[in-house]
Amino acid sequence: MQRDEILHWLKETDEARLEELWARADAVRKERVGDEVHLRGLIEIGNYCVRQCAYCGINACSQGITRYRMATEEILACAREAHRLGYGSVVMQAGEDPGFKAETIAAIVREIKTTTPLAVTLSLGEREDDELRLWKEAGADRYLLRFETSDPALYDHIHPSLPGTLSDRMAQLERMRDMGYEIGTGVMVGIPGQTWDILAQDIDTFRDYDMDMIGIGPFLPSPRTPLGGPDAASHMAPEGLQVPNDELTTLKAVALTRLVCPQSNIPSTTALATLDPKAGRELGLSRGANVVMPNVTPPEYRVLYEIYPGKACVHETAQVCHGCMEARIRSIGRVMGKGPGGRKAS
């Protein structure tokens, strides 16, 4: 599928034609990655952050947030809980926080890898190569780092660099692949300044870089941030060019991503479930996705990990989310994934 065809589908509004897109995406999903839905237990290990990403509610400048950093033993307890619930992997996610020392993370990874069969995914932002290498040697399997946009100007606008460094997530993803990580990335749909052309290029980029995992969710404005505050309108692309942050467009992006990256692991995201609590998860899974990331963070911490308001599941326990996910997966005739659920070989 060429770029202009991706673009055309993104703008498609005819329901009958869209049925064709959904059917194609679901057929490719079934044929290439099967009916199993892989479950990743998400552990939000801390919300300190040194970055100022313009969309993110826990960025360094965000006021009125209680910051936390989970202790090693608490994180390990979450991992054991994920294993007990039958999940094949855990994702340790935090803001970009040098307060999490590389050696602390490495020790946690080592402990999980030696005491459980879990695959371990890290999502800790932009970190030094020697840290990333240390974690790989400790046994980490995968790393998630969404590039958020393939447009250089928009990228710079929403990701102010730290003094003395240049933010380059694409380059980090490539280096991590060379280190042996499975690499995951993704974008938000409808971020202010995102045009249709840019979103089509984002999807093309997933294919060009042969990403192993691709997370796509709607942009949900956080009033604590520049892109969600009173000035939000000033960041928008001109009328007609700006991509809306709605469910339909997100589902088109998921479906198209499945078509161009048939073997990738694609989650039905929490942001989509937040936008449509009733059916968002199921719609994502029915239109290309094959992964879900149930939260296993203790409830007292998950309320503090507020990257956007109203996040799904903030008041639930790991046990409740497990039951909820299982019911949703079964309701659409799919099966719970077994094992770590790594990327299928081509």
Can you give the binding site for ligand FES, defined by CB under 6 A?
294, 313, 316, 320-321, 324-325
Rounded Cα gap, residues 113 and 141, in angstroms: 10
Does position 220 interact with ligand 5AD (CB under 6 A)? The reply is yes
CB of 311 to ligand FES, least distance (A): 10
Would you mind telling me the total number of residues written for the chain in this entry? 346
Residue 102 partner contact from ligand FES, ligand 5AD, none using kind-dependent CB cut-offs of 5 to 8 Å? none
Beta bridge partners of 184: 144, 213
Residue 18 partner contact from ligand 5AD, ligand FES, none using kind-dependent CB cut-offs of 5 to 8 Å? none
| Six-digit token string for 72 | 């090693």
R_g of the chain computed on alpha carbons: 19
The secondary structure of 184-213 as a DSSP string is EEEEEES-TT-BHHHHHHHHHHHHHTT-SE
Selected from 308, 329, 337, 341, the binder of ligand 5AD by CB under 6 A is 308
Decide: 224 and 62 in contact? Cβ < 8 Å. yes
Does position 45 interact with ligand 5AD (CB under 6 A)? The reply is no
CA-based angle 46:130:79, to the nearest 5?
A: 35
Selected from 146, 169, 175, 343, the binder of ligand 5AD by CB under 6 A is 146
Return the number of the residue (245 or 286) whose C-beta is nearest ligand 5AD.
Answer: 245
Does position 219 interact with ligand 5AD (CB under 6 A)? The reply is yes
Return the number of the residue (139 or 299) whose C-beta is nearest ligand FES.
Answer: 299
CA-CA distances (angstroms) from residue 324 to 54, 273, 303, 319? 32, 12, 19, 9
Longest dimension (CA), the chain: 54
Question: What part of residues 177-216 is at the interface with ligand 5AD (CB under 6 A)?
Answer: 188
Part in contact with ligand 5AD (CB under 6 A); list of ranges 4-12, 62-70, 219-227, 313-321: 219-227
DSSP state of 149: -
x-marked contacts with ligand 5AD along 50-79 as a string, rule CB under 6 A: -----xx-----------------------
Rounded Cα gap, residues 146 and 269, in angstroms: 13
CB of 184 to ligand 5AD, least distance (A): 10
Question: What part of residues 265-294 is at the interface with ligand 5AD (CB under 6 A)?
Answer: 271
Share of the chain residues as helix, strand and coil, in percent rounded to the nearest 5? 40, 15, 45
CB of 17 to ligand 5AD, least distance (A): 28
Residue 113 partner contact from ligand FES, ligand 5AD, none using kind-dependent CB cut-offs of 5 to 8 Å? none
Binding interface with ligand 5AD (CB under 6 A): 55-56, 146, 148, 188, 217, 219-220, 222, 271, 307-308
